[in-house]
Amino acid sequence: MRRCTPLVALLGLLSLHAADAERPRQRRPDDLIRAAVTRTRPGDGFPIRPALPTGIRQRVTHEILASPRVREAYALLDPHNRRSADWHRGVEKLEEEKATWSVVSCLCHPREGVQISALQSLKRLGDRRAVPFVLLYAEYMAVDEEGSEEATVHGLVLESTAGTLSALTGIDVKVKRQDVGALKAGIEKWRRWLVDQHVLLHW
């Protein structure tokens, strides 16, 4: 049997290291989450979005680690390196995988369109564990937005928020466009419902 000379062995090791260097390094779940919820421009934006609680962040991390498909879908949410079509496809794929907590975290995405997609996905998923955070999100969104285009999009956010909470709780509240008063009245009703369900719903 032919023995490898030290030089051949060294060349073999170098080629292995080169191959490892060429492989794309998987991003950690923390990095994926941070990218997905961070604005591409300085400042908080308006309306201010709620921060993602530690408990939900841990659940998202678990979903990413447990499923390569969830990881792949979540990577599409990055507003810095992806296009809007990718973001929405990411939400769709997360819904397909029934990754409720990952979809919930999309409410912290800096783009309103992604937030609306996430609200619609949560409505279809029907997972009532999402109610506490969606309710918190509703409280942050219950403000008036000025400007024609901004007001139109924000109105869709309010309508979608009300539709999702109505479906998840069974407490139907209609919100049309930027009817902040109607949303706030709904928030009070959904809060009372949540108090009655506190044993079942928590992060």
**What CA–CA distance (Å, rounded) separates 73 from 87?**
9
The more confidently predicted of residues 83 and 8 is 83
The average pLDDT across 158-173 equals 95
188, part of any domain: yes
DSSP symbols for 88-108: HHHHHHHHHTT-HHHHHHGGG
46, part of any domain: yes
Q: What domain range is 66 assigned to?
A: 29-196
16, part of any domain: no
> What is the DSSP-derived secondary structure letter of residue 144?
-
**What CA–CA distance (Å, rounded) separates 165 from 123?**
8
The average pLDDT across 143-172 equals 89
Query: CA 161, 167, 169, 174: dihedral to nearest 10 degrees?
Result: 60
Identify whether the C-beta of residue 130 lies closer than 8 Å to the C-beta of residue 100.
yes
Average pLDDT, the chain: 85
The per-residue pLDDT for 6 is 53
24, part of any domain: no
85, part of any domain: yes
Identify whether the C-beta of residue 63 lies closer than 8 Å to the C-beta of residue 102.
yes
Q: Give me the long-range contacts of 6-13 (CB less than 8 A, separation at least 24).
A: none
The per-residue pLDDT for 10 is 44
202, part of any domain: no
145, part of any domain: yes
Q: What is the pLDDT of residues 121-155, one digit of tens each?
A: 999 999 999 999 999 999 999 998 777 777 888 99
Q: Of 133, 127, 98, 97, which Cα lies nearest the Cα of 115?
A: 133
> What is the DSSP-derived secondary structure letter of residue 124?
H
**Cα torsion 118, 171, 187, 158: sign:** positive
Q: What is the pLDDT of residues 38-60, one digit of tens each?
A: 887 765 678 889 999 999 999 99
**What CA–CA distance (Å, rounded) separates 90 from 84?**
10
The average pLDDT across 55-66 equals 96
The total of structural domains in the chain comes to 1
48, part of any domain: yes
> What is the DSSP-derived secondary structure letter of residue 49?
P
Which of 20-24, 74-78, 139-143, 160-164 has the lowest average pLDDT?
A: 20-24
Q: Of 55, 93, 65, which Cα lies nearest the Cα of 77?
A: 93
For the chain, what percent of residues have pLDDT higher than 90? 61
Please report which confidence band the pLDDT of residue 17 belongs to, taking 50, 70 and 90 as the band edges: very low
**Which residues have a Cβ under 8 Å from the Cβ of 24 and sit 6 or more positions away?**
none
